[in-house]
Amino acid sequence: MANKINIGLLGLGRIAGHHTKAIQKIKKFKILAACDLDKSKRDNYTERFKVKTYKHYDEMLSKEKEIDLVVIMSPSGMHFEHARKIIEKYKKNLVIEKPISLRVNNLKILYHLAKKYKKNIYPVYQNRNNKCVIELKKLIQQGKLGKIKLANLILRWCRPQRYYDLSVWRGTYSHDGGALTNQGIHYIDLLRYLVGDVKKVYCKMGTFGAKIEVEDTAVGNIEFEKGAIGVMEVTTAARPKDYEATISLIGTKGIAKIGGLAANIMEEYSPNPKICKRFSENIPDAYGFGHYKLYEDVKNDFIKKKKFPINSEDCIKTLKFLNSLYVSDEMKKSVLVKSSKDSKRLGRKNNKISKLYK
pLDDT tens digits for range 234-260: 999 999 999 999 999 999 999 999 999
**Residue 263 pLDDT > 60, yes or no?**
yes
CA neighbor of 191 nearest in space, from 242, 238, 226, 216:
226
When divided into structural domains, the chain yields a total of 2
Shared domain check, 192 and 118:
no
Domain boundary among the residues 102, 126, 150 is at 126
Residues 22 and 90 in one domain: yes
Domain C-terminal end among 101, 126, 151: 126
Same domain (yes/no): 136, 216: yes
Considering the domain architecture, whether residues 79 and 191 belong to the same structural domain is answered as: no
Per residue in 284-322, pLDDT (tens digit) is 888 889 999 999 999 999 998 899 999 999 999 999 999
Is 304 inside a domain boundary? no
CATH of the domain at 57: 3.40.50.720
pTM of the model: 0.96
Burial class (CB in 10 A: 0-12, 13-18, 19+), 161: exposed
CATH code for position 180: 3.30.360.10
Asked if residue 70 and residue 47 are part of one domain, the reply reads: yes
What residue numbers bound the domain in which 17 lies? 5-126
**Of 266, 269, 292, residue with least CA distance to 279:** 266
Extract long-range pairs of 19-26: CB within 8 Å, 24+ residues apart. 19/71, 19/73, 19/95, 19/291, 20/49, 20/51, 21/291, 22/291, 22/292, 22/294, 22/295, 23/71, 23/295, 25/292, 25/295, 26/295, 26/296, 26/299
**Whether 119 and 202 share a structural domain:** no
For residues 102, 107, 109 and 114, what is the CA-based torsion angle, rounded to 10 degrees? 130
Q: Does 225 lie in the same domain as 287?
A: yes
pLDDT given for residue 1 in this prediction: 46
Answer yes or no: do 142 and 265 share one domain: yes
